[in-house]
Amino acid sequence: MGRLNGKVAIVTGAGMGLGAAIVKRFAEEGAIVVGTARRENNVQNVMDELRKNGEYELLALHQDVSNREDWKTVVKTTVEKYGKIDILVNNAAQASDKNVLLCTEEEMVNLFKTNVLSIMIGIQEVMPEFEKLGKGSVVNVNSLAGIVSGDADNASAAYSASKGAGRSLTKHAAYYLAEKNVRVNSIHPGPIMTPMLEGYLKDNQAMADRVKQYNPLPPHISGPEDVANGVLYLASDEAACVTGAELVVDCGHLVM
């Protein structure tokens, strides 16, 4: 406990799933967490639930991550309330399920706005606060789809392309911001277990067997908390000499 004591973190896409798990882990480790999402009430619900188990400093804000003015508002509100920003977690993402022959121009552009443009704008808007501190940490939540295709990208051309771009942008930012003592890393989850996915696998033995074959390490599908633990490490001072890294959390998918 206490691995993020005194840190102020912004976490996008914080209203459910992995984003909610990241907010929880950061709060448990002592961070002040500003969670954002298009549906602010979802983030507030996550935070209200957390407060039942502890006295955490949490703030829910509305944000469209592809909109620069929303970023300016989130940064300004965070600094006015808490005085600084130490950590930025770009977790918000959009998915699709159309392959390269079916994907539309609109779908490709929309996913790039949410999955790539948001990373660039977020870093640009938070950087002045990092420079005031003389350091900072950015964690970009990517995907196996940024590295390989097949099962990893759910047959989505736009998702695969946008995650590949996010992977490259992470390395670019890591190189150019290193001189400012700002670390930029990415985490690449495989499938993440949800109640819906768990129910689906129970009813589809063939798919459950396929998951075990392609993700050989039990439990074969990571939980949100498993990925959140990786984000915690990259965000924390424990990773002080780590930048441009790609942390894969996939139950062994990439070793196949």
- Residue 221 domain flag: no
* Higher-confidence position of 211 and 244: 244
**Residue 151: predicted pLDDT:** 74
Residue 210: inside a domain:
no
Q: What angle do CA 54, 62, 93 make, to 5 degrees?
A: 95
Span 205-218, mean pLDDT? 90
208 in a structural domain = no
| Residue at 171 is within a domain | yes
> Which of 121, 127, 141 lies closest to 177 in space, CA to CA?
127
- Counted domains in the chain: 1
Helix, strand, coil tally for the chain in percent (to 5) = 55, 15, 30
pLDDT given at position 157? 93
The pLDDT value recorded for residue 202 is 86
Task: Answer yes or no: is pLDDT of 11 > 80.
Answer: yes
Q: Is the model more confident about 156 or about 57?
A: 57
d(C-alpha 44, C-alpha 65), whole Å: 17
Q: Is residue 220 part of a domain?
A: no
Q: Burial-class residue 198 by CB neighbours within 10 Å (0-12, 13-18, 19+).
A: exposed
| Mean per-residue pLDDT, 52-69 | 96
CA 23 to each of CA 137, 155, 208: distance values in angstroms, whole numbers, following the listed order: 16, 30, 30
22-41 mean pLDDT: 97
User: Is residue 219 included in any domain, yes or no?
Assistant: no
The arithmetic mean of pLDDT across residues 107-118, rounded, is: 97
Question: 């000499």: which residue's tokens?
Answer: 241
Q: What is the pLDDT of residue 149?
A: 84
The answer to whether 222 touches 250, Cβ cutoff 8 Å, is: yes
| β-strand partners of 34 | 10, 59
pLDDT band at 201 (very low <50, low <70, confident <90, very high): confident
- The answer to whether residue 34 scores a pLDDT higher than 90 is yes
- Summary mean pLDDT of the chain: 94
52's CB contacts (< 8 A; 6+ apart) are none
Across the chain, which distance is largest between two alpha carbons, in Å? 54
Q: Which residues are catalytic?
A: 159
Over the stretch 145-199, which tens digit does the pLDDT of each residue have? 899 887 777 778 999 999 999 999 999 999 999 999 999 999 999 989 887 778 8
Asked, for residue 20, whether it belongs to a domain, the answer is yes
Q: Is residue 79 part of a domain?
A: yes
| pLDDT confidence of residue 26 | 98
pLDDT at residue 256, rounded to an integer = 77
- Predicted confidence at residue 197, as pLDDT, reads 78
CATH of residue 66's domain is 3.40.50.720
Pick the more confident residue, 244 or 196.
244
- Measured CA to CA, the distance from residue 236 to residue 256 in angstroms comes to 30
Q: What is the rounded average pLDDT of the residues 103-129?
A: 97
Could you list the residue range(s) of the whole structural domain that residue 96 is in?
8-192+228-250
pLDDT band at 241 (very low <50, low <70, confident <90, very high): very high
